[in-house]
A and B are shown apart, each in its own frame.
Chain A
């Protein structure tokens, strides 16, 4: 074996070694950049981008094409101007998370099976829920939380209809319903 061959082999192997590392990093990239959570046209839990974000998120985003979510106008409610179509978190660690409202209730709390999983010492495990009333409006209800749920400035004492844009405060998190 000539000196040249050996040197080429030595450097070539190092290059292959690093190529392996780089390819592996490329595989990871999908996890790093693929976790946009807003506007997902599914009914699954859209929340917890931080907590459950990793593996589970890229897929749902990938398969149903974006167009359908423009037609989120549901026959039942969506056409009416005053009914909300999405829930937006405006303050707290999950700021920016959007959940499309379907006819499913949304549970909020620290419990890991909530729709919106809060990481907040001031929130209870099962803090509140937001669910659709038959007339198309949405109702927020405190589930016996320790620190209470506030609609604007008033603490909830029972199920209360949520006007569009009114802030619902749970611990450090503020949630609004938007059209």
Chain B
């Protein structure tokens, strides 16, 4: 009967699907380069086609090969979708470079091309992606450093404060010589890991100890501590770094992760009210944030100078969408550089909206939605709570960021200084997002990996060191049986904390105790089939007490 077990060869690793999608994802931007060139000077831009289109394809291909080797069961769409967005971003930056170098729309000022450095940052990002996929064998390793990550996140968060604010208003950059980087981008991963680890440990207290008022569960006062701290922190970011986006992202991330961990809707309501309250207060007091709110409320007044602020960005963006209409003006046939300096970074969506129209913009949003959906799907499929929370948090990060940026440049919410993941120009952003996708790939590989094959199943390896320590007192009762005590029968203490040490054995699959048995039924140590308790009527005792003890493996 051992023919019913699963062998890893037959399991689906959908790497060929991934390769196919990856090819498609590289092809679409290349088509766009051709489109840009033909619409411009009527010739194929072989230089940028090969350098940016094909170049990114080569990097992504290398990433694919390493995923094939090191994360064979990972989700087949994450890498192609990320590559697609990155490729489209490079394409748009390259297209904007054409105008910016010529000084079109910038009032005669000539900018420098940015696509080259963006390609370099993409390569670094893919390198980091590969490094994480290869070196991070199990995402649960991150759980061990929960509070280290917290400290790191705090350092990263406050680090831009001593640096002078830049001409764009927000203080979210660190300048070291020729390099600028945005620590807020890196912080989002670090903070997500901390939240996941923290909520893993605390979620029972947050979920269960609550009072019910008017059909909603309200947490106890002392359990409110963490959310208040994070709220204060995000308010402080808003005040000191004047960055609404980062503030919104971190607070929203925490609230959503609280909700995911506890299933209590009241957290979402709380979070919403706290966020709105905080934003309103800071928005009225802080001049920079106040300006942005004013420009959001009446973009045309800000455009023609009749309002209290002078900023034509948002109005130009809206003009762009209007010009694009449903199907767009066509690549390289719009005037997206009218936006000004931020056309390649914050406002890159405006170019999409103008040149590809609503149809193209919706396609881009769909790709983001698919990327986020794959992340949430990974979270559902993950078998350990930490992985679930981490995957959910990372996908929510992307979702919130897309919402904050897209909402900002379309006039739905006040404008913030965040970048569209993968699409916009920005080294920190693209590197961070590749790292984020790498962690998702790692989690999804663990989640979708089938249980180890029968032959390699080693019952001894399943005994968790930590479990063993508190179960050995009971299980170690000497008795004559040959069956070792059942390792999975720890007391029902309500805690489902996984132990990383135990779970990394046997291929990192946590399901092993319920998993497939040794192939033949003749293998002597069959720990999961203890004989029935001979003292049939006795109340349940620990397994192993009723004559089935034996050496503790």
Contacts and interface: CB of A to CB of B under 8 A. Distances in A.
A143 B540 contact: yes
Interface string B516-533: 110001000000111111
B492 A112 contact: no
Contacts of A67: none
B514 A54 contact: no
B5 A43 contact: yes
B459 interface: no
Contacts of A132: 529
Contacts of A176: none
Contacts of A103: 517, 521, 529
B196 to A, nearest CB: 16
Contacts, number: 227
23 contacts: A9-B39, A14-B328, A17-B28, A20-B24, A20-B25, A51-B383, A54-B380, A55-B447, A102-B4, A103-B517, A104-B517, A104-B528, A111-B488, A113-B512, A125-B495, A131-B529, A131-B530, A143-B492, A144-B491, A158-B535, A158-B538, A159-B532, A159-B540
A63 interface: yes
A42 interface: yes
B513 A107 contact: yes
Contacts of B373: 28
A171 interface: no
B38 A1 contact: yes
Given A60-B450, A62-B12, A144-B492, 7 more contacts: A13-B356, A20-B24, A28-B374, A44-B451, A56-B381, A107-B513, A124-B494
Contact of A14 (B80, B357, B381, B530): B357
Contacts of A68: 3-4
Contacts of A1: 38-39, 42
Instruction: List the 10 closest A-B pairs by CB distance, nearest first.
Output: A55-B448, A54-B381, A124-B492, A10-B330, A115-B514, A17-B363, A63-B10, A59-B12, A21-B366, A113-B513
Interface string A105-129: 1110111111100000000111101
B356 A44 contact: no
Interface of A: 1, 5-7, 9-11, 13-14, 16-18, 20-21, 23-25, 27-28, 31, 41-45, 50-56, 58-60, 62-64, 68, 74, 102-107, 109-115, 124-127, 129, 131-134, 139, 141-146, 156-159
A107 B75 CA distance: 29
A164 B459 CA distance: 31
Given A6-B333, A14-B327, A20-B84, A126 B35 contact: no
A60 B6 contact: yes
A55 B529 contact: no
B264 interface: no
Q: Chain B interface secondary structure, helix, strand, loop or mixed?
A: loop
B32 interface: yes
Given A107-B488, A110-B496, A42 B363 contact: no
B73 interface: yes
B274 interface: no
Contact of A107 (B364, B381, B514): B514
Given A54-B448, A139-B532, A43 B540 contact: no
B356 A125 contact: no
Contacts of B374: 28
B510 A133 contact: no
A20 B494 CA distance: 46
Contacts of B531: 134
A145 B492 contact: yes
A52 B496 contact: no
B422 to A, nearest CB: 15
Contacts of B451: 44-45
Contacts of A102: 1, 4, 517
Chain A CB within 10 Å, residue with most, of B495, B516, B532, B543: B532
Contacts of B377: 28, 31, 54-55
B350 interface: no
A45 B24 contact: no
B47 interface: no
Contacts of A18: 359, 363
Nearest to A112: B383
B528 A28 contact: no
A114 B514 contact: yes
B381 to A, nearest CB: 3
A13 B35 contact: yes
